[in-house]
Amino acid sequence: MSTPFRFGLVGVARSRDQWLDLARRVEGLGFDSLLVPDNLDGVAPMLACTAAASVTTRLTVGPYVLATPLRTPGLVAAEAAALDLLAGGRVEVGLGAGRPDSAAEAARLGLPFGSPGERIDVLDRTIAAVRDRVPSARVTVAASGPRMLALAGRAADVVALGASPLADQDEYARMADVVRGAAGDRADQVVLNMNLTCVGDELPPWLAQRMGLTIEALRSANAAGLLTGSADKMAQTLVRRREATGVSYICAGSDNAERLAPVVRLLHGQ
């Protein structure tokens, strides 16, 4: 039996009113979650999540994902507990070993970034600290390489598959196999998540500039993160992809809210 679909949006707060309006709109459109990236120059994810939870009643909130090398495990657990309290339990605690630019952020904070092995150890200890402090919290772990995928399979409720924007469905299936192999007896309980690169036929300008991507390149690579066509066609694509990879939790940038909402209505809970 397939895991039911869930849908989330990843957004940033540019002003108080804009952020609270976005949270209400996301909930009204039927999405399950509103998630916040961890960026030293943006609004702190836990604060943004608390604000979003305060104006919604059903929406789950959480960081997507915290760079754990920039924090101690105890601090993350304490903040997760506070968010869980203030959001009434509607929390997804997203954790990772750091983005490529996290090393520069660590330097700005005057913190050691550590080797890959050291960062994975910090992540592992952070997961344990959150589990101990907030046993009911859903823990998401972002992973791409084999060692991280295996850790996520063993320890996470949700695994955010950190594939390249040009990765095809076969690459997602390969990553999912590593996760399920590490999860063992709990493989059927681990939810697999992907973040769509583009919904529709127009790539957001900021994404094209930041990553040098084009719609043509995504199509040429048969990228799984490109979702196009009518709502019915997009829904059918996601169903086929779930059958091939097990991915059932679909996220996208909040600028895709209206384009993805009809798909949410077609597939939510199925």
Question: In this predicted model, what pLDDT tens digit does every residue of 193-239 receive, in sequence order?
Answer: 999 999 998 887 777 777 788 899 999 999 999 999 999 999 999 99
CA angle 52/58/61 to nearest 5° reads: 40
| Joined tokens for residue 202 | 């127009």
CA angle 107/111/115 to nearest 5° reads: 90
Which runs of consecutive H residues, i.e. helices, occur in the chain? Answer: 16-28, 45-54, 73-86, 102-109, 116-133, 146-155, 169-183, 205-211, 215-220, 231-245, 257-267
Q: Which pLDDT belongs to residue 181?
A: 98
pLDDT band at 5 (very low <50, low <70, confident <90, very high): very high
**Which of 144, 170, 145 minimizes the C-alpha distance to 223?**
170
Q: Average pLDDT of 1-21?
A: 94
Q: Which pLDDT belongs to residue 47?
A: 97
Q: Average pLDDT of 27-35?
A: 98
pLDDT band at 96 (very low <50, low <70, confident <90, very high): very high
Q: Average pLDDT of 49-66?
A: 98
Q: Which pLDDT belongs to residue 269?
A: 84
Q: Average pLDDT of 120-142?
A: 97
Q: How many CB atoms lie within 10 A of CB 175?
A: 26
Give the mean pLDDT of the chain.
96
* Backbone phi, psi, residue 214, to 5°: -135, 160
Q: Average pLDDT of 138-164?
A: 97
Q: Average pLDDT of 154-176?
A: 97
pLDDT band at 178 (very low <50, low <70, confident <90, very high): very high
Is the previous residue joined to 12 through a cis bond, with omega within 30 degrees of 0? no
Contact call for residues 83 and 55 (beta carbons, < 8 A): no
pLDDT beyond 70 at 139: yes
Q: Which pLDDT belongs to residue 1?
A: 65
Taken in order of first residue, the domains within the chain and their CATH numbers are 6-267 (3.20.20.30)
Q: Which pLDDT belongs to residue 211?
A: 77
Looking only at the bridges linking them, the beta strands covering 66-67 and 138-143 are unpaired
* Backbone phi, psi, residue 143, to 5°: -150, 150
**Would the pTM of this model clear 0.85, i.e. be above it?**
yes
Q: Which pLDDT belongs to residue 202?
A: 83
B/e letters for 115-146, b = 16+ CB within 10 Å, e = fewer, are: eeeebbbbbbbbbebbbebbeebbbbbbbbee
Q: Which pLDDT belongs to residue 258?
A: 96
**Burial, 35: exposed, middle or buried (Cβ in 10 Å; 0-12, 13-18, 19+)?**
buried
**Which of 162, 144, 159 minimizes the C-alpha distance to 189?**
159
pLDDT band at 100 (very low <50, low <70, confident <90, very high): confident
Question: In this predicted model, what pLDDT tens digit does every residue of 101-113 receive, in sequence order?
Answer: 899 999 999 999 9
pLDDT beyond 80 at 11: yes
pLDDT beyond 70 at 187: yes
| Joined tokens for residue 200 | 């529709």
Q: Which pLDDT belongs to residue 45?
A: 97
